[in-house]
């Protein structure tokens, strides 16, 4: 056992006395600290990117939704009719629009008309619309509003949506 300790001590001191080992032992932590400091400096001096505002139009057939039309990075713009919303979509004033049908409080179904086809509704869009609906439905706090929000359903209309609106096909 004594010879093992002598060999270990000889190898250990031989290793730590090498110039390469001493340099690497000191340089690695210094480089890590410099990297962290450089990252912190760049992060603090750079300006945040401009907010991207997602514009969503809505046609409210229930006449219940009119407050809090700005949600995080989304702006909800009211339109009086489906045709007005469709025209705004075609002029690229909005990126999509939703129709809140008159039976929304009982069915919980919205009709969403995006400019581009999507497989799934983006989570940010769902969050903005749900927040908008929640705030407006909970103004006159009711049980029907809570039931409607818990069963929110999107019905995407992509394929022949001008025909859905009774407009001529493109």
* Pair type for strands 109-114 and 153-156: parallel
77 and 13 in a common domain: no
63 and 19 in a common domain: no
Q: What angle do CA 89, 92, 93 make, to 5 degrees?
A: 85
Provide the pLDDT for residue 149: 52
Strand spans (E) along the chain: 54-60, 70-71, 74-79, 96-100, 109-114, 153-156
94 and 127 in a common domain: yes
160 and 99 in a common domain: yes
Average pLDDT by stretches of 10, the chain with 170 residues? 87 88 88 92 74 82 74 81 88 88 83 84 84 77 52 54 45
74 and 103 in a common domain: yes
Six-digit token pair at 133?
A: 């609906």
**Domain membership flag for residue 32:** yes
Provide the pLDDT for residue 154: 57
For 166, list phi and psi in degrees, rounded to 5: 80, 20
Containing structural domain, residue 103: 54-164
**Domain membership flag for residue 169:** no
96: closest CA among 107, 105, 82, 86? Answer: 86
């Amino acid at each position: 056992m004594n010879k093992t300790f002598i060999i270990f001590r000889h190898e250990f001191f031989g290793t730590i006395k090498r110039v390469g080992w001493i340099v690497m032992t000191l340089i690695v932590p210094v480089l890590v600290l410099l990297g962290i400091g450089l990252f912190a400096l760049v992060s603090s001096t750079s300006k945040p990117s401009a907010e991207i505002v997602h514009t969503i139009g809505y046609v409210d057939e229930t006449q219940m939704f009119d407050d809090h039309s700005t949600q995080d990075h989304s702006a909800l713009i009211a339109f009086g009719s489906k045709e007005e919303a469709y025209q705004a979509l075609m002029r690229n004033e909005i990126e999509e629009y939703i129709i809140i049908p008159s039976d929304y409080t009982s069915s919980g179904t919205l009709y969403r008309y995006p400019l581009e086809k999507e497989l799934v509704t983006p989570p940010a869009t769902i969050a903005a619309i749900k927040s908008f609906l929640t705030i407006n439905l909970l103004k006159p706090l009711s049980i029907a509003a809570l039931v409607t929000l818990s069963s929110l359903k999107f019905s995407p209309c992509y394929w022949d949506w001008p025909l859905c609106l009774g407009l001529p096909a493109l």
